[in-house]
Amino acid sequence: MKTYKKIVFLFSFALIFSCENRLDVIPEDNVASSTVFSSFATINGAVVGIYSKNQSGDLNGMAQLMSDFMSDNVNFVGSFPSLQEVDQFATLATNTSIDNIWLDGYELIGAANSIIVNLPEVTEVTGLTDEDKTRFIGEAKFLRALTYFQLVNLFAQPYQFSTGSNLGVPLVTKPFEGGDIAEFQLERSSVNEVHAFIEQDLLDAIAALPEENGLRAEAGAARALLARLYLYRENWANAANFADQVISSGNYALAANYDFYDANPGSSENIFVVVNTPTDGPQENAGSDETYVNFYNPSPGGRGDAPFSQDLIDAFAAEAGDRRFDELSAAASDAGGNDTFFTTKYPDVVNNASDGMVLRMTEMYLIRAEANFQDGTAVGDSPLNDINLLRTRAGLTALTTVDLDAILLERRKELCFEGHRRMDLLRNNLNLRPDNGAVSAPGANKVIFPIVEDETTNNPNITQNPGNF
């Protein structure tokens, strides 16, 4: 079982470079590649900078918020016009919040590409071994895969829409400045092509990364994300197999309780977490400093914008004593003055430094259970046993039988406010909202985001999503 300390990435590197944000060390556009790749410290820092970009509130925080309030988990009562558009399934291509996700995502991809393309050619750098180079490239590929997966999930209809032949997002494999990919004049690759690209990056990352890599990405994280990709593609056998590999690896273990949210980032539950601190987190990006506090009630300083939906409250109330509600919610008034409940999964409302949960063990059991159920198999264990293991931790009685609805319900209650619900509904051909009719139905124009205006204006080759302008 692994243990962690909540440390700053590459402390030794932080001593070399003085900057306002100790992780903001990715080379800026005016720094020559010859400088970046001239020493172990600068190469190391460039890789750390990709992790720093992954801390962006637009990539970790905003995505979880939007994915849950587009679905039936959150009753969004916020006043931000850009978020209200998303909540009301009326998102425009000029939406600034969507624009930030697109630009931050491709900015990270460009930084990862710089490492992946340039590092293999670097030689005669003191202290840089071939093992170091392999690991750094593996980390860059994992983070690139994670970002492409998030972008294709948000800006494209899921695989189930037309078995992946529908348009995804542009695939850029070259280094480039900032987040502007319009210079490449690329059309969007299909969802299948994007998924295949992600799959290859993750397979490469599994081969390149160590099993133990501290707070940075390791082989188990790549296996876990690959299990999620296969689940979304209904590749049940591979989804079950890769989830089982993570479960049986011995590097992680299902936590005994729910203390792992932020208070204990070193928990065995965690496979990959975005670790934020008061001086190093999503607040580094202008305009995204309130991402996590949207989830928190106003009384201690939160915004109170994203309380539980009544539908989610009812789902928990159907079985009294569920610890996932009793221990991970707080009663309070929302921004509109209504009595309701808020999640406590992001507890650091003072500094907005709550950790971003990306991959954890609970999801692996849920993936294995769903994939085994769909495939009629029992890789690692039966779906019933996997679901009952989670229910026992939650303080609920064991089920005697399990079906897909029961598995999806456990996914909902375990993973609420972590950004999974929207895709879980869409990939299972279920409306995002029970009372919104056609506008929130799978395949509807506004259940995905428009390609941002910055891109369509400067790239005549890119196709906009239907129903957008």
pLDDT (tens digit per residue) in 272-321 = 998 876 666 554 443 344 566 677 666 666 677 889 999 999 999 999 99
User: Going by C-beta distance under 8 Å and a sequence separation of 6 or more, which residues neighbour residue 26?
Assistant: 45, 46, 48, 49, 50, 52, 53, 111
Closest CA to 289 of 85, 100, 72: 100
pLDDT band at 338 (very low <50, low <70, confident <90, very high): confident
Query: So what's the pLDDT on residue 314?
Result: 97
Phi, psi of 215 (to 5 degrees): -85, 0
Query: So what's the pLDDT on residue 304?
Result: 77
Residue 291 to residue 310: CA distance in whole angstroms: 22
Residue 302 to residue 334: CA distance in whole angstroms: 10
Number of helices (H), then strands (E), in the chain: 17, 4
Closest CA to 52 of 264, 282, 305: 282
- Tokens representing 331 are 């009663």
- Tokens representing 65 are 């918020």
Looking at domain 22-458, its CATH architecture is: Alpha Horseshoe (1.25)
Helical (H) or strand (E) element with 153:
helix 130-155
DSSP-derived secondary structure for 350-410: TTT-PPEEEEEHHHHHHHHHHHHHHHT--SSS-HHHHHHHHHHHTT-PPPS---HHHHHHH
Region for residue 190 given its phi and psi (left: phi exceeds 0; alpha: psi -120 to 50; beta: otherwise): beta
Residue 328 to residue 338: CA distance in whole angstroms: 19
The maximal CA–CA distance of the chain, rounded, in angstroms, is 64
pLDDT (tens digit per residue) in 225-234 = 999 999 999 9
End-to-end Cα distance, the chain: 51
Amino acid at 204: D
């492409």: which residue's tokens?
Answer: 148
Residue 180 to residue 402: CA distance in whole angstroms: 47
Above pLDDT 90, what percent of the chain?
71
Helical (H) or strand (E) element with 359:
strand 356-360
∠ CA 28-193-441, rounded to 5°:
100
Check: CB of residue 340 under 8 Å from CB of residue 333. yes
Domain ranges of the chain: 22-458
DSSP label at 72? T
Query: So what's the pLDDT on residue 28?
Result: 37
Query: So what's the pLDDT on residue 292?
Result: 63
Check: CB of residue 75 under 8 Å from CB of residue 121. no
pLDDT (tens digit per residue) in 144-169 = 999 999 999 999 999 999 999 999 99
Q: What is the mean pLDDT of residues 448-467?
A: 95
pLDDT (tens digit per residue) in 213-262 = 988 999 999 999 999 999 999 999 999 999 999 999 999 999 999 988 86
Closest CA to 466 of 450, 455, 454: 450
Residue 252 to residue 1: CA distance in whole angstroms: 6
pLDDT (tens digit per residue) in 382-429 = 999 999 999 999 999 999 999 999 999 999 999 999 999 999 999 999
Query: So what's the pLDDT on residue 469?
Result: 63
User: How far apart, in Å, are the Cα atoms of 130 and each of 125, 141, 393?
Assistant: 11, 16, 44
DSSP label at 343? E
Residue 306 to residue 387: CA distance in whole angstroms: 28
Is residue 96 helix, strand or coil? Answer: helix
């697109």: which residue's tokens?
Answer: 102
Query: So what's the pLDDT on residue 49?
Result: 93
Check: CB of residue 126 under 8 Å from CB of residue 33. no
Is residue 273 helix, strand or coil? Answer: strand
Residue 438 to residue 443: CA distance in whole angstroms: 9
- Tokens representing 61 are 């925080």
pLDDT (tens digit per residue) in 88-129 = 999 999 999 999 999 999 999 999 999 999 999 999 899 999
The answer, yes or no, to whether residue 3 has pLDDT greater than 80, is no
pLDDT (tens digit per residue) in 173-192 = 999 877 778 889 999 999 99
Residue 145 to residue 396: CA distance in whole angstroms: 36
